[in-house]
Amino acid sequence: MRRITEPPRNVDRQDKIWREEVRRELNKFISAFNLDTSNRIICNDTVETNGLRRNIRSVTAATTLLVSDDVLLCDGTFTVSGDAATLAEHYFDVNNTGTGTITGPDGSSILANESITYQSDGTNWRIL
């Protein structure tokens, strides 16, 4: 999302143009998000906050962690697995956004509305 200029001062036409610019940019931002069946905002995209990029992926069935994953939003009861050697030194936030139980790559349970951050040391998964 690009930076929006300051609103104009005391100029009706410029004010209308500025408002239209704000509306367009907000619509672009909002369209990057989807609502799930519970009207929660789910993003399947890259989010940048203070220069930190995070790839977010939503899953509803058993999945394997990918090098490109940063955050998994999980809904259901299933296992998230990953090869510790392949994913060495990467870390992943696994969030249970549903009511089921997610089993993490180390075998730990992530209950409803909980999240755990995992990091591979090349051999084992560690909880941070």
> How does pLDDT run across 67-92, given as a tens digit for each residue?
988 889 999 999 999 999 999 988 89
**The model scores a pTM over 0.85:** no
Burial of 1 (0-12, 13-18, 19+ CB in 10 A): exposed
Structural domain boundaries of the chain?
Answer: 6-34, 36-127
> How does pLDDT run across 32-47, given as a tens digit for each residue?
555 444 444 555 555 5
Rounded CA-CA distance 21/18 in Å is 5
Q: Which of 83, 40, 79, 39 is nearest to 59 (CA)?
A: 79
**Mean of the pLDDT values across residues 8-31?**
66
**Mean of the pLDDT values across residues 99-110?**
94
Structure token digits, residue 42: 């789910």
Structure token digits, residue 76: 């259901």
CATH class of 36-127: mainly beta
**Higher-pLDDT residue of 29, 76:** 76
Say what the pLDDT of residue 19 is: 73
